């Protein structure tokens, strides 16, 4: 069966407010960089299909896919939108290549949360209109907190453990140019922060960020034409657990369990412990640990205490900082992690796993297994 490789990546932004570029101009800048990365590929001739990942209410435009084609080279070409996280778009791209209908697919996603004046209200709009929105949840972090408390109670993970995730990720972010929220913190700094919604303080919560990301996929028979070090997508999966937290399994990240089992089957890997790095959604500090568990890593708390996940140790987790350091670019969040993983592999690592989540209030996530 046809294999699929990543042959180019490009990004623009990763700033809390990209005030001088419209989202379309950000898309163009990111796409230009990605095509350059893929051996100066010409999108008007060498790309078979384009996929953009976005949601109307994040854009503030109804039917926002109207704006998808032009800035990525996709006008008058097969261009479509996957209304979901970039990983879902990546999966659709993989499918298009495996059918043979396309050899090269561009996957794009972008976020401009700085354009949204009522961010909390937009998140509320994603909740069930009949029996959840009416509850007047004061703060949407409350839903994550319920999940966190249940997870912590089940696993015995403490707030101190969460603090060490925060310190690790914000510190790791200092190594990249994409991490506006990275910093060097001490345990006292974190523990002395005021609690916003228990168990979260301000530094436990990642913030939205403006960014545009483009990833270029090619079938493995063509990929070396564009790039000397193509990164293979060995396995990919995504899943939805529920759209409603009253019906979802709280404290378990079930979506990641389903998604990773699909991706592992496809990639034929037995244990996630054998990869060289894991890039996992850490929109909240506990989520990193919950997601690791759902990816099949046992005794996460012990491993964290032993320094297992730190840079240079057995299994680095978010060695470039994750969302806590970079911010999360809404639907591009999954691609942000893929971007980290691709850079990590290009630096010499053998294999990596990416685990993404769509954020509150969803229970949807995706997993990608990458190797060099």
Partner 1 sequence: MRTNLKFRRVAAIGAGLTEFRRRTLETPQELAWEASRKALDEAGLELRDIDCVVIGSAPDAFDGVHMKGEYLSHGSGGIRKPTSRVYVGGATGVMTAISGWYHVASGLCKNVLAVAEEKMSPGRPHPQAVFRYIWDPITEKPLNPNLIWIFAMEMHRYMYVNKVSKEEIALVSVKNKRNAINNPYAQLGGQITVDDVLKSEVLVWPVQLLDVSPVSDGAAAMVFVEGDIARRYTDTPVWIEGVGWTLDNTSWPDRELAYPRYLENAARMAYTMAGIERPQKEIDVIEPYDPFDYKELHHIEGLLLAKRGEAPLLLKEGFFDVDGDIPSSPSGGLLGVGNPIAAAGLMKVISIYWQLKGTAGKMQVKRPVHTGLAQAWGDLMQASTVIIMRN
Partner 2 sequence: MVHSLKEGEIKQHPVVEYKPEAKYSYTAGQALSQFLLGLKKGKILGRKCPKCGRVYVPPRMYCEDCFYPTSKWVEVKDEGIVMTAVASFISWTRDRLEEPEIVGTIRLLPSSAKDYVYPGLFHRICCSFDDVKSMNIFGKRVKAKWKPENEREGSINDIECFEVI
Residues forming the site for partner 2 (CB under 8 A): 18-25, 28, 31-32, 35, 42-44, 57, 60, 69-71, 73, 75, 112, 114-118, 121-122, 125, 129-130, 133-134
Q: 298 CB contacts (<8 Å, ≥6 apart)? A: none
Q: Tokens standing for 133?
A: 């929105």
Tokens 């800035």 belong to: 71
185 binds, among partner 2, partner 1, none (CB under 5 to 8 A by kind): none
Rg of the chain over CA atoms, in angstroms? 19
Q: What are the tokens at 328? A: 């999360």
Residue from 19, 99, 184, 348 that binds partner 1 (CB under 8 A)? Answer: 99
The residue from 98, 224, 225, 372 that contacts partner 1 (CB under 8 A) is 98
By CB under 8 A, name the one of 169, 182, 336, 364 that touches partner 1: 364
Residue 259, SS3 per DSSP: helix
Of the candidates 119, 129, 124, 15, the one whose C-alpha atom is nearest the C-alpha of residue 60 is: 119
The binding track of 124-153 with respect to partner 1, each residue x by CB under 8 A or -, is -xx-xxx-----------------------
91 contributes a contact to partner 1 by CB under 8 A: yes
d(CA 152, CA 64): 39
Q: Is 351 helix (H, G, I), strand (E, B) or coil?
A: strand
Q: How far is the CB of 330 from partner 2 (least distance, A)?
A: 14
Question: What CA–CA distance (Å, rounded) separates 96 from 77?
Answer: 14
What token pair was written down for 42?
A: 């010409």
Q: Nearest-CA neighbor of 214 among 57, 342, 353?
A: 342
241 binds, among partner 1, partner 2, none (CB under 5 to 8 A by kind): partner 1
Count of residues touching partner 1 (by CB under 8 A): 63
- CA-CA distance, 24 to 18, in Å (whole number)? 12
Contact string (CB under 8 A) for partner 1, positions 241-270, x = contact: xxxx--x------x---xx--x---x----
Residues forming the site for partner 1 (CB under 8 A): 1, 48, 55-57, 60-63, 65-70, 74-84, 88, 91-92, 94-103, 122-123, 125-126, 128-130, 237-244, 247, 254, 258-259, 262, 266, 358, 362, 364
């Amino acid at each position: 069966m046809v294999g699929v490789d990543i042959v180019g990546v490009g990004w623009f932004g990763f700033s809390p407010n990209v005030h001088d570029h419209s989202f379309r101009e950000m898309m163009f800048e990111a796409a230009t960089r990605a095509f350059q990365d893929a051996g100066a590929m010409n999108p008007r001739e060498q790309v078979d299909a384009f996929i953009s990942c976005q949601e109307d209410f994040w854009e503030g435009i109804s039917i926002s896919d109207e704006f998808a084609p032009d800035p990525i080279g996709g006008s008058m070409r097969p261009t479509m939108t996957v209304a979901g996280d970039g990983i879902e778009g990546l999966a659709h791209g993989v499918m298009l290549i495996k059918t043979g209908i396309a050899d090269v697919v561009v996957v794009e996603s972008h976020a401009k949360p700085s354009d949204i004046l009522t961010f909390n209200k937009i998140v509320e709009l994603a909740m069930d209109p009949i029996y959840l929105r009416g509850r007047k949840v004061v703060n949407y972090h409350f839903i994550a907190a319920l999940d966190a408390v249940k997870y912590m109670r089940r696993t015995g993970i403490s707030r101190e453990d969460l603090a060490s995730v925060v310190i690790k990720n914000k510190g790791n972010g200092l190594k990249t140019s994409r991490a506006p929220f990275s910093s060097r913190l001490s345990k006292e700094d974190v523990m002395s922060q005021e609690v916003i919604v228990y168990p979260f303080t301000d530094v436990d919560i990642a913030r939205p960020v403006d960014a545009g990301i483009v990833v270029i996929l090619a079938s493995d028979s063509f990929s070396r034409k564009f790039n000397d070090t193509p990164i293979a997508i060995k396995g990919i999966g995504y899943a939805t657990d529920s759209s409603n937290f009253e019906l979802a399994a709280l404290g378990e990240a079930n979506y990641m369990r389903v998604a990773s089992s699909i991706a592992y089957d496809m990639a034929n890997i037995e244990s996630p412990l054998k990869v060289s790095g894991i890039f996992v959604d850490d929109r909240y500090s506990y989520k990193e640990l919950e997601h690791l568990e759902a990816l099949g890593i046992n005794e996460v708390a012990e491993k964290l205490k032993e320094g297992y996940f730190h840079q240079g140790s057995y299994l680095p987790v978010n060695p470039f900082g994750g969302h806590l350091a970079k911010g999360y670019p809404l639907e591009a969040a999954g691609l942000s992690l893929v971007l980290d993983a691709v850079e990590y592999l290009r630096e010499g690592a053998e294999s990596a796993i990416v685990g993404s989540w769509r954020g509150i209030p969803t229970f949807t996530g995706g997993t990608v297994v990458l190797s060099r």
